[in-house]
Amino acid sequence: MVRSAVETMRRCKRVYFNPPVFLNLHVLISANQVSYVNALIYLSRIAAFFQS
């Protein structure tokens, strides 16, 4: 019986895996333009870039 237990231990393989990692990422972006409308356009383009 001991021999079969040793053979079983030799056949078993250890499987290691990393647990999933969940991150919350906060990003602050700004646009400094003379025109307020142009600043909003740049901000919307940056937001669209990160969403895609």
- pLDDT, position 16: 76
- pLDDT, position 10: 62
Mean of pLDDT values over 41-48: 93
Counting residues of the chain whose pLDDT is more than 90, the rounded percentage is: 38
- pLDDT, position 48: 93
How many Å apart are CA 11 and CA 42, to the nearest integer? 60
Q: Between 7 and 23, where is the model more confident?
A: 23
- How far, in Å, are 2, 22, 50 from residue 25 at the CA level? 54, 10, 12
pTM summary value? 0.50
For 15-32, how does the pLDDT look when each residue is reduced to its tens digit (9 = 90+)?
777 889 999 988 898 888
